[in-house]
Amino acid sequence: MFFNFAPKFYETGMEKLMQTYIRLAVEQLYGTTVTDKQIQIQITNKDFEGDYTLVVFPLLRTSRKTPEATANEIGEKLKSLYPEIKSYNVIKGFLNIKFASVFWIQRLNDAVENENFGFSYGNGKKLMIEYSSPNTNKPLHLGHVRNNLLGYAVANILEANGNSVVKVNLVNDRGVHICKSMLAWQKFGNGETPESSGKKGDHLVGEYYVRYDHEYKKQLSEIIAGGIDEEQAKRKVPVQIEVQEMLRKWEAKDAETIDLWEKMNSWVYAGFDKTYSDMGVSFDKIYYESQTYLSGKNLVNEGLNKGVFFKKEDGSVWVDLTGDGLDQKLLLRSDETSVYITQDLGTAQQRIDEYNIEQMIYVVGNEQNYHFQVLKLILKKLGFAWADSIYHLSYGMVELPEGKMKSREGTVVDADDLMELMISTARGMSKELGKLDDLSDVEIDSVCRMIGLGALKYFILKVDPKKTMLFDPKESIDFNGNTGPFIQYTYARINSILRKAHEQQIQIPQKSQCANISEKEISIIKLINIFPETLKLAAKEFSPAVIANYVYDIAKEFNQFYHEYQILREENEELKLFRLMLSEKVAIMIKKSMKLLGIDVPDRM
């Protein structure tokens, strides 16, 4: 088995090494140079013997021989030039090359020697990544969990590739939706606070958002029952009219409205801070829509003066994108209140001015694909060349076995409740399996938190971001299969081996001269060897799933090795030391990979 997420190389060190080897062999055989494009290297199909395969067909014009004859000649020349090549075989036009144990041991030695193996520092781009972007009318839910975990992990991956990354959050703290919670609290709250209710602030405000929806539907039904058409009735719903008036007052800086807004938002911010802390994500800067929408309105007015935008008869401001294959887009309502895209325009310009970044990455669900298409196009029309630096990391929605979530109806899976459920489930399953034996109460609490949150994070991040995913809490916390707990347990198992080696006063070497190792050990070294390229691929694809599936592969491969071979009980001292060195490096790779995903690994389980 080799890594299962990329069937071909991705600019790997091994590919470059193989190209160097083959280029020299071809030059000596045929007296001519060949390009890298002609030297096509693949990982050998698992059904054949070999480590890497050369596709011979692009070299036939150079050799002027049959595919089989060309492959055999190159294979023989490679063996004569490079003693680390153990053997080769030819299957039609494919040359399968197998390296000797000594070659792979040297690859391991190189990885062990390099403390920062796979990571790059400096010389990258200056990037900004926006994630989370909650509304202050409800607590974070399962959809936000995927957004936060994805954004935080991608930021880690980009930084590990040498980029300077600014992590930001844009809080949607104003607008009609915020006024809905405010109006409902004003009408039905009776002065309730987080302190008086014992509820987390964001949860309390979220309840009033749901309360507003119930009241809106009730009033709408009553109006329709009076014989009025539904579309007309929607314009006459009293609470909806009151909400629009509240938004107008807010934008006019009405003191009473602003006081209520500040009070309720402060409750929500305190709740968000607790959730972010528990989730293990953070930001370098938080932007607030209430502080950026005015700059967006200024941009719209500038565009209006330049003739980029136009006004309709009711005074609303629009941009006509029909010539670009889109439609007309509202930028300012007739009462001069702004919409989402208005503040996005202003925020984008503000970020460029503040940080001089080379790329802005927005982690936002795929239901907003059109929004970001429009945003880039409007910025281009306004004359901003940096509009092309905007990248929408569009991800699929998270669904549950029982269907989709709806915030207004209160049918969401709350992030806080979900995290507590995962930790509680981890405690129960770990206790049942005997994985908490001999641990203190403090250690048990720490381990259960790591397992529960690790299960949640890994289950979400192992899925390609572009795909809609089904989240099943029970499946995510299994100690077998492609799960966080399985990988965490593998790390703890290796740590147990290393502790026993320390107790036996065994000094684990940083270099091995071992002559012969098994195919299973070679397969583990191959996985270690591709980590740098895997990290590059994850950054290129903006996909933590690449890292997640890599770390699962290496954990699975090690577990198979652990069950088939002796480590501490190995009688051959040189081989025992090699296996301890290999185990230690696997543990390091697991810990580093999981840290990129924002997941902690326990030393004991």
Alpha-carbon distance of 584 to 568, in angstroms, equals 13
What three-state secondary structure class fits 5? Answer: coil
Average pLDDT of the chain to the nearest whole number: 92
- Both 58 and 178 in one domain: the answer is no
Nearest to 293 by CA among 333, 241, 255, 327: 333
- Both 225 and 272 in one domain: the answer is yes
* Residue 201 CB neighbours (<10 A): 24
List, for residues 311-320, the tens digit of each pLDDT value.
Answer: 999 999 999 9
Positive or negative torsion for Cα 140, 144, 145, 147: negative
pLDDT beyond 70 at 192? yes
Q: Which two tokens stand for residue 191?
A: 């002065």
List, for residues 238-270, the tens digit of each pLDDT value.
Answer: 999 999 999 999 989 999 999 999 999 999 999
Residue 288 sits at φ, ψ, to 5 deg, of: -125, 130
List, for residues 400-417, the tens digit of each pLDDT value.
Answer: 776 544 444 445 789 999
- Both 84 and 190 in one domain: the answer is no
First to last CA, the chain: 27
- Both 389 and 429 in one domain: the answer is no
Question: What percent of the chain has a predicted confidence (pLDDT) above 90?
Answer: 84
| 37 within 8 A of 62, measured Cβ to Cβ | no
**pLDDT of res. 402:** 64
Phi-psi bin for 430: left (phi > 0), alpha (psi -120 to 50), beta?
alpha
- Both 388 and 451 in one domain: the answer is no
- Cα 400-422-490 angle, rounded to 5 deg: 110
**pLDDT of res. 431:** 86
Which CATH number belongs to the domain containing residue 139 in this structure? Answer: 3.40.50.620
Q: Would you place residue 509 in the very low, low, confident or very high pLDDT band (cuts 50, 70, 90)?
A: very high
* Residue 401 CB neighbours (<10 A): 10
Of 43-47, 439-443, 486-490, where does the model show the most confidence? Answer: 486-490
Give strand pairing partners of 86.
none
**pLDDT of res. 553:** 97
Give the residue from 84, 99, 114 where a domain finishes.
99
List, for residues 530-565, the tens digit of each pLDDT value.
Answer: 999 999 999 999 999 999 999 999 999 999 999 999
Q: Please tell me what DSSP assigns to residue 440.
A: -
- Domains held by the chain: number: 3
- Both 323 and 191 in one domain: the answer is yes
Which CATH number belongs to the domain containing residue 22 in this structure? Answer: 3.30.1360.70
Pick the more confident residue, 434 or 327: 327
In a domain, 323, yes or no: yes
In a domain, 539, yes or no: yes
pLDDT beyond 90 at 439? no
Question: What percent of the chain has a predicted confidence (pLDDT) above 70?
Answer: 96
- Both 447 and 508 in one domain: the answer is yes
In a domain, 112, yes or no: no
- Both 490 and 350 in one domain: the answer is no
DSSP secondary structure letters along 136-153: TTS--BHHHHHHHHHHHH
In a domain, 415, yes or no: no
In a domain, 59, yes or no: yes
Give strand pairing partners of 311.
317
Q: Please, what's the b/e burial string for 242-259 (b: 16 or more CB within 10 A of its CB; e: otherwise)?
A: ebeebbbbbbeeeeebee
pLDDT beyond 70 at 225? yes
In a domain, 28, yes or no: yes
**pLDDT of res. 410:** 46
Which CATH number belongs to the domain containing residue 439 in this structure? Answer: 1.10.730.10
Alpha-carbon distance of 452 to 140, in angstroms, equals 18
- Both 503 and 565 in one domain: the answer is yes
| 77 within 8 A of 29, measured Cβ to Cβ | yes
Give the residue from 81, 99, 117 where a domain finishes.
99
- Both 242 and 371 in one domain: the answer is yes
List, for residues 83-137, the tens digit of each pLDDT value.
Answer: 999 999 999 999 999 999 999 999 999 999 999 999 998 778 999 999 999 999 9
The parent domain of residue 69 ranges over 13-99
